[in-house]
């Protein structure tokens, strides 16, 4: 790739953040457009980066999937993490273009950046066995993959409510409900509302399921 890569770094650990900034700023192909601790610290006015390098905080109130989904609207996301939990498949499903371990070398990081910037996908060789195992785990396509609020949203969709009606019942904005539905479709690999409803019924979340939310009950849980 001949043009300069615009890179934004979002890394919660201060020492790692400084080290990554030092490494990347020394590369002639890289232009650092932001180096911040949290996604919320990114300025809306910054130039659109080719790649957002994300070092997720273990103390974040939001899941990695939610953070990746948010940052995917900023630029192509490359996750750099320990991956101590099965998160590789979920990060990719949420919209990440790459996953690199923290103990990977500089050469791999640079290769991952250029691959992701071109629109390719890079997964560290050290993570391929984990990714394969995650993809073979049945729970990855079951309700366990969905966050609590996503399960709640899916139940209301299956009950035939519009996004506006769901928003009122759950105390959310209509835009947030639309984001949840988009995320659910990506996670469950379904297209239209009819397919989504059929999938909800398959998972035991349809309107006739005994675990479904009773009509008129307000949503619960943490708002995002």
Neighbours of 118 (CB within 10 A): 12
Which pLDDT score is estimated for 21? 93
Any idea which architecture 5-136 has in CATH? 3-Layer(aba) Sandwich (3.40)
Which pLDDT score is estimated for 1? 46
Exposed, middle or buried, 112 (CB in 10 Å: 0-12/13-18/19+)? buried
Q: What is the DSSP letter of 13?
A: S
What are the residue boundaries of the structural domains of the chain, listed by start? Answer: 5-136, 141-202
List strand residue ranges (DSSP E) for the chain, in order: 5-11, 30-36, 51-55, 76-81, 98-101, 122-123
Residues linked to residue 99 through DSSP beta bridges, in sequence order: 79, 123
86-104 confidence digits (pLDDT tens): 678 888 888 899 999 988 8
Residues of the chain with pLDDT below 50 are 1, 139-142, 208-224
Output the six-digit token pair for 48: 């659109």
Output the six-digit token pair for 29: 């192909």
| Nearest alpha-carbon partner for 56 in 77, 27, 32, 31 | 77
136-164 confidence digits (pLDDT tens): 765 444 455 777 788 889 889 888 899 99
Residues linked to residue 52 through DSSP beta bridges, in sequence order: 8, 77
Match domain 141-202 to its CATH number in 1.20.58.480, 1.10.10.10, 3.30.1330.200, 3.40.140.10.
1.10.10.10
| Nearest alpha-carbon partner for 20 in 121, 142, 106, 84 | 106
Would you say the pTM of this structure is higher than 0.75? no
Which pLDDT score is estimated for 206? 61
Output the six-digit token pair for 120: 């390719």
How many Å from the N-terminal Cα to the C-terminal Cα in the chain? 37
Axis crossing angle, helix 174-188 with helix 64-71, rounded to the nearest 10: 110
Are 187 and 145 contacting, i.e. CB atoms less than 8 angstroms apart? yes
């Amino acid at each position: 790739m001949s043009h300069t890569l615009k890179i934004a770094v979002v890394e919660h650990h201060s020492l790692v953040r400084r080290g990554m900034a030092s490494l990347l700023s020394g590369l002639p192909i890289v232009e650092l457009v932001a180096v911040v601790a949290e996604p919320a610290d990114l300025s809306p006015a910054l130039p659109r980066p080719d790649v957002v390098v994300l070092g997720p905080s273990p103390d974040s109130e939001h899941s990695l999937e939610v953070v990746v989904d948010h940052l995917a609207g900023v630029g192509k996301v490359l996750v750099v993490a320990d991956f101590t939990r099965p998160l590789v498949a979920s990060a990719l499903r949420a919209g990440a273009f790459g996953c690199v371990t923290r103990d990977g070398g500089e050469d791999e990081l640079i290769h991952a950046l250029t691959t992701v910037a071109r629109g390719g996908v890079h997964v560290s060789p050290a993570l391929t066995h984990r990714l394969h195992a995650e993809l073979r785990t049945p729970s990855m396509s079951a309700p366990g993959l969905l966050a609590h609020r996503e399960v709640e949203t899916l139940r209301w969709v299956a009950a035939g409510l519009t996004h506006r009606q769901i928003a009122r019942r759950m105390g959310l904005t209509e835009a947030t409900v639309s984001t949840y539905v988009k995320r659910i479709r990506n996670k469950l690999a379904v297209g239209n509302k009819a397919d989504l409803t059929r999938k909800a019924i398959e998972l035991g979340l349809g309107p006739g399921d005994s675990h479904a939310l009773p009509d008129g009950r307000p949503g619960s849980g943490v708002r995002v």
